[in-house]
Structure 1
Amino acid sequence: MADGTTPPGPDPVGPAPAVRPFLVTAGRVAPTAVGRPVPVETQVVATAEGLAELDGLSFEQHDIVAACRIPQSIAEVAAKLRLHLNVVRVLAEDLRSAGHLTVHVPDTGIVHDASVLRRVIDGLRAIPTP
């Protein structure tokens, strides 16, 4: 550039998709399975079958399965792929039903210890700001 600075590099993830979320999910706003929405902390991982069939999947489904070579949460997948959270929830359920993903829903019956959260908050507050 003329001012001596370097131009910004290409976006490693790419531009945000221009396709409307309801088009990607065929108008569905919730997974087809009966019940409440999949929690955002749900861990998803690609199956061997899913990885073998990557080339036959739609764009978003391909990207989700490819991103899930290592276990990740639904929220992480949505953020990395720049997809709407509910789109990832719906497509992850579709991919699970087809055998392309394994979904590990956290046990919601566990009683959460508020003291752990308090210690995390206190630790974050103790970090010096620049």
Structure 2
Amino acid sequence: MTSGDEVRPEDDEVWLDDDAGRLVRPYTVTAGRTHPTVELDMLTLMVSVRLSPALDVEYTRALELCRTPTSVAEVAAHLRLPTAVTKVLLSDLVERGVMAVQEARIAADPTDRALLEALLDGLQRV
């Protein structure tokens, strides 16, 4: 739109694509915010505590995706949103009390010498 263009009501219509669904710029999902208020990385597991009415579509979809523990990266992929946007969205849900961060469980001691030697041996065989 150029500076001389007039804003028309139809410009505010929702754009739809048959395959992609609603076409919205990622920053509009988070109202322009770019930093989450809760520290999350791509592997952080998120889990819904309860569903909440009157949320935007992306928030509702995130809650539904996280009925079982789901990583931030998986949520971003399913929502087709950048990870940074997804982190803001998820941190908003944590602040509202409808989403929780689930601590990751380490399956093995990362300093176990026998395990590290077996891993190194397996890598050298490849």
Q: Aligning the two structures, in what range does the TM-score lie when normalised by the shorter sequence?
A: 0.5 to 0.7
Q: CA offset at residue 32 of structure 1?
A: 2.9
Q: What RMSD over aligned residues (CA atoms) do the two structures have, in Å?
A: 3.0
Distance in 2 separating the partners of 1:105 and 1:39: 12
Distance in 1 separating the partners of 2:96 and 2:26: 21
Distance in 1 separating the partners of 2:104 and 2:33: 24
- SS of 1:61's equivalent in the other structure is helix
Larger Rg: 2
Q: Match for residue 104 of structure 1?
A: 102
Q: Which runs of 5+ in 2 are unaligned?
A: 1-18
Q: Match for residue 29 of structure 2?
A: 24
Q: Which amino acid aligns with 1:21?
A: P
% of aligned pairs identical?
Answer: 35
Q: How many residues align?
A: 100
Q: Post-superposition, which runs of at least 4 consecutive aligned residues in structure 1 deviate over 6 A? A: none
Q: Which amino acid aligns with 1:32?
A: T
Q: CA offset at residue 122 of structure 1?
A: 3.4
- Cα distance, 1:71–1:106 mapped onto 2, change above 3 Å: closer
Higher RCO structure, 1 or 2 (CA under 8 Å, sep 6+): 1
Q: CA offset at residue 81 of structure 1?
A: 1.8
TM-score scaled by structure 1?
0.63
- 8 Å CA contact retained: 2:69, 2:102: no
Distance in 2 separating the partners of 1:80 and 1:32: 22
Q: Which runs of 5+ in 1 are unaligned?
A: 1-13
Counterparts of 1:1-130 in structure 2, within 5 Å, are 14-15=19-20, 18-33=23-38, 37-48=39-50, 51=51, 53=52, 55-106=53-104, 112=110, 115=116, 118=119, 122=123
TM-score scaled by structure 2?
0.65
